[in-house]
A and B are shown apart, each in its own frame.
Chain A
Amino acid sequence: MVDEQIILSAQQVNLWFGSKQILKNIDISFAKNSVTALIGPSGCGKSTLLRSFNRMHDLSPDARVEGQFLLDKQNLYAKDMSVTQLRRRVGMVFQKANPFPKSIYENINYGLKINGVPKSERDAIIEGALKESYIWDEVKDELNKPATRLSGGQQQRLCIARTVALRPEVILMDEPCSALDPLSTLKIEELIIKLKKDYTIIIVTHNMQQAQRVADKTVFMYMGEIIESGNTHDIFNNPNKELTNNYVKGKFG
């Protein structure tokens, strides 16, 4: 793919928590409308890297980020970049489904409201987002029910609906299926593949089969560094590095 368009990239990224360096010399870029999986053993920095793309570290006083992050040629950490605008453009789905303790309707409405979407347009957007996340048929008759009463898988799809309602350019997913049963996981994975048409997705996962099922590109990280990245098929079947091979074959991690 020669003509692929880079939407998000990070260059020469170093990140510290206090005096401990978590990310070392990260160089990475993400093509538009692709799914990229970040894999690696626990503590390798993949979630930390993911969370630096929507500046989730801003509220940790001891986090220090160095390097250049570009979203469509705009610097994410520039002084004139509004962090709330940025988070609208780079949405996030978390490891544990975290719907607001409000109704299903209000869960999606909230993000629209604080981002200034006119009230008259919201109903249509909410319905669209729920349909896009394949949860509309299950909840259309009880939009006023508390979101916490939904099952874990439904909650996670609601969280995805909440994210896509804002029409982000990139969606970050931090192990979105790690707390779900296989059936719910399957639904989310199908959803991810369908969402690729409109969004760029970066997914952190512990599950190597999942990476192979959903991702076009895979990035293997170890001890805060990117060891190898490339097409998913190559990473899993003929990696260049011995370390990658050992990890994807399950010899450690």
Chain B
Amino acid sequence: MKRLSPFIEWGTLLFCTGIVCFFLFVILYDIISRGAPSLSWEFVSSQPTNGMTKGGILPAILGTVLVTLTTAAVATPFGISCAIYLNEYAVDSWLTRLTRACIRNLSGVPSIIYGLFGLALFVQGLKMGTSLLSAGFTLGLLSLPYIITTTEEALRRIPASTREAALAVGATQFESIRDVVLPTALPGILTGVVLTLSRAAGETAPIMFTGVAFYINSPAGYLNQEFMSLPYHLYMLSTQHQSIEVVRPLAYGTALVLILVVFLLNITAFYIRYKHSKNGG
């Protein structure tokens, strides 16, 4: 039995890893094999035509990129500031513990709830209408708890001796954070931000009520107008279109482009971390 047990342990782990990878590869294979034929320069660089049955998805790609940038502009400064306050300044009291618990719970709220909240607050309450800006703010709210948590973790990894080094040469606490702690933690913070944004880029529910449209006639890019986006385009093409069979190749093409965009963001995060570990700091 004793001789067998390493093989059982090893086998169980291998089996579980295999199952996970198996599904990943099946999904990737399915999407790539069926999406690749519709991928072309024209597909990613032109407007959809003939009721979505022909043409490309350029407005959806632009919309996804722009809404992700808006999300970043909203969530990153607030999230990082909040994490700095919680980790560097706030004393350990019932209030900060409550705040942390709230943030943890926020990250568990289903994304459709964020969509409804964004509809009530930004679209109607603040009269921003269904627009790129409303959707960006809503996705920003969704991203905040993740950015706060990952930033706080990155800050916590900076050892006390690094902070003390700055204090010991006469830096104030603020100077020590600005000049030493933040630059040291930056790669970790950026990795967290990029991974969070890549998740936000793929969300459908929060933007459904707040700004995304199936088709817009005007060029994309106006903050106060509705926009197209890849995940919503994919959802419409695969479930809501009147001739689903005709647009199926386009739907797979859209899925592949969406995966590539998210993959690109993830690669960026890995690159940041790799560069950091090579610099050894």
Which residues of A approach B to under 8 Å, CB–CB?
A: 54, 56, 59, 61, 84-85, 87-88, 91-92, 94-96, 98-102, 110-111, 114-115, 146, 148-149, 159, 162-163, 166
Contact = CB atoms under 8 A, between A and B. Distances in A.
Contacts, number: 71
Contacts of B172: 84
Contact of A146 (B169, B171, B279): B279
B161 A96 contact: yes
Contact of B168 (A85, A92, A115): A92
A98 B164 contact: yes
Contacts of A115: 169-170
A104 to B, nearest CB: 13
Contact of A56 (B91, B164, B175): B164
Interface stretch (B121-129, B177-185, B206-214): B177-185
Contacts of B170: 84-85, 87-88, 111, 114-115, 166
A162 B169 contact: yes
A91 B171 CA distance: 12
A101 B167 CA distance: 15
Closest A-B pairs by Cβ, 8 of them? A111-B169, A101-B281, A88-B170, A92-B168, A98-B161, A98-B165, A84-B170, A87-B170
B108 interface: no
Contacts of B91: 61
Contacts of A146: 279-281
B166 interface: yes
Interface of B: 91-92, 159, 161-162, 164-173, 175, 179-180, 183-184, 279-281
A91 B169 contact: yes
A54 B171 contact: no
Nearest to A94: B161
B164 A94 contact: yes
B157 to A, nearest CB: 12
B179 to A, nearest CB: 7
Given A87-B168, A91-B169, A98 B280 contact: no
B277 to A, nearest CB: 12
Given A88-B169, A110-B171, A111-B171, 18 more contacts: A54-B168, A59-B167, A84-B170, A84-B172, A85-B170, A87-B168, A87-B170, A91-B168, A98-B164, A102-B183, A110-B169, A110-B179, A110-B180, A114-B169, A146-B281, A148-B280, A159-B165, A163-B169
Nearest to A85: B170
A99 B166 CA distance: 9
Contacts of A163: 168-169
A8 to B, nearest CB: 16
Contacts of B162: 98, 100-101
B165 A100 contact: yes
Contacts of B171: 84, 110-111, 114
Nearest to A54: B168
Nearest to B280: A148
Nearest to A111: B169
Nearest to A89: B170
A96 B162 CA distance: 10
A149 B168 contact: no
Among the interface residues B165, B169, B180, B183, which one has the most CB atoms of the partner chain A within 10 A?
A: B169
A146 B180 CA distance: 14
Contacts of B279: 146
B180 A100 contact: yes
Nearest to A82: B170
